[in-house]
Amino acid sequence: MSAPNNSYDPVEVSALHPDEVERMRTEALDAIAKAAGLEELKEVRIAHAGDRSPLALANREIGALPPAAKAEAGKRVGGARRAVSEAVKARQSQLEDERDARVLVEEAVDVTLPFDRIPRGARHPLTTVAERMADIFVGMGFEVAEGPEVEAEWYNFDALNFLPDHPARTMQDTFFVAGPDGAESGLVLRTHTSPVQVRSMLDRELPVYVVVPGRTFRTDELDATHSPVFHQLEGLVVDEGITLAHLRGAIQVFVERMFGEGLRTRMRPSYFPFTEPSAEVDMECFVCRGASVGNPDAPCRTCSSEGWIEIGGCGVVNPRVLTAAGVDTERYSGWAFGLGIERTLMFAHGVKDMHDMVEGDIRFTAAFGMEM
């Protein structure tokens, strides 16, 4: 900075020449307008409005002017500096608004999106139906029992009074488990849940009240109504003074709780090696309740217009089975039943094809959700 000099003419100081001040002003405003971001604007501000900026340096020259010239030069430079300062402020505010708007877009959370993008999955309906069936019997005082799926032939056949020449023991029905070098192993994939009857009597103190939901295996081809792997719910009661009336009552309670109040049940004579007498269990069709019988105008697909649906087999436990399991047949008697879980699922939920139950398509399973 120079000392005051009365003869000093501001137009002679190049930095204070109106054209020069105008040039610095224009240059500053240009740079401010072009600043694309807040960081860049900060640099522009230091360069054009800071202490070392051309306009600040020009301002210092004013002090050396003659008093008469100071006012005009001060007004010119001050005006330019104010314009630059205001432009910086305006641009700053504009860039901040842009940044805020961008952050709002980039960091926006769409609260309408599903918050849980991982499909939750669902339990297989065969599992949930089996549990519902078992729960009905648990409500009547039964326990749930289990047994191995690879079973000794003795439990699967002999103990249940299947004689060695019984057709069910041939290769047509049974998956036999090969031993070392193809020798007989004495093991099969259980063809029914009935071997758990024998296991339960051997394992437990009498009386026995058990239900056995489980997977069973037979050499059937997979089609709409058959599968080599299927599920049964076995029931067994062994106690003193047990009669068929108790069996009938237990089946009746099951049918009404599973399919609807007031549905009738009936038994038809049948034959199983491990029960004597034996019966097939039917329940009244829960869709037409018999109204379709002899009424071609209102056919029922669920019962094929027969009015009844077969749901399983049952009978009084053959004394030979009790004896095989070490039960005193003078004192105890019992009954047993077997219900098809696939059939129950088909009826309870209108599943038409066995393929849907075994193919593992999540779209089939998911429709049943988390039903308990």
Residue numbers at the binding site for Zn ion (CB under 5 A): 285, 287-288, 300, 302-303
Tokens 């299947």 locate to: 162
Angle separating helix axes 67-106 and 38-49, nearest 10 degrees: 170
Cα-to-chain-centroid distance, residue 279: 40
Q: How far is the CB of 260 from Zn ion (least distance, A)?
A: 12
Q: How far is the CB of 285 from Zn ion (least distance, A)?
A: 3
Nearer CB in complex with Zn ion: 42/266: 266
Bridge pairing between strands 275-284 and 265-272: antiparallel
Q: How far is the CB of 119 from Zn ion (least distance, A)?
A: 36
End-to-end CA distance of the chain: 91
Nearer CB in complex with Zn ion: 80/285: 285
Nearer CB in complex with Zn ion: 259/368: 259
Of the candidates 230, 223, 195, 252, the one whose C-alpha atom is nearest the C-alpha of residue 343 is: 230
Nearer CB in complex with Zn ion: 170/295: 295
Nearer CB in complex with Zn ion: 2/295: 295
Nearer CB in complex with Zn ion: 300/341: 300
CA dist 110 and 191 (Å) reads 55
Two tokens at 59? Answer: 């301002």
Contact status, residue 125 vs residue 349, Cβ threshold 8 Å: yes
Q: How far is the CB of 348 from Zn ion (least distance, A)?
A: 14
Contact status, residue 281 vs residue 250, Cβ threshold 8 Å: no
For 286, the 3-state DSSP assignment is coil
Nearer CB in complex with Zn ion: 166/289: 289
Alpha-helical segments (H) within the chain: 18-34, 38-49, 54-61, 67-106, 125-138, 153-156, 195-203, 244-259, 319-324, 341-349, 354-358, 362-366
Contact status, residue 305 vs residue 293, Cβ threshold 8 Å: yes
Nearer CB in complex with Zn ion: 193/305: 305
Tell whether 276 is in a known binding site: yes
Q: C-alpha angle 198/203/208, rounded to 5°? A: 70
CA dist 238 and 324 (Å) reads 14
Q: Is the peptide bond before 319 cis (omega within 30 degrees of 0)?
A: no
Q: How far is the CB of 308 from Zn ion (least distance, A)?
A: 8
Q: How far is the CB of 130 from Zn ion (least distance, A)?
A: 24
Rg of the chain taking only CA atoms, in angstroms:
46
Contact status, residue 6 vs residue 64, Cβ threshold 8 Å: no
For 85, counting Cβ atoms within 10 Å of its Cβ (0-12 exposed, 13-18 middle, 19+ buried), the class is middle
Contact status, residue 183 vs residue 156, Cβ threshold 8 Å: no
Q: How far is the CB of 197 from Zn ion (least distance, A)?
A: 32
Q: How far is the CB of 344 from Zn ion (least distance, A)?
A: 16
CA dist 235 and 306 (Å) reads 27
Q: Which residues are annotated as a binding site for Mg(2+)?
A: 276
Known binding residues are 276
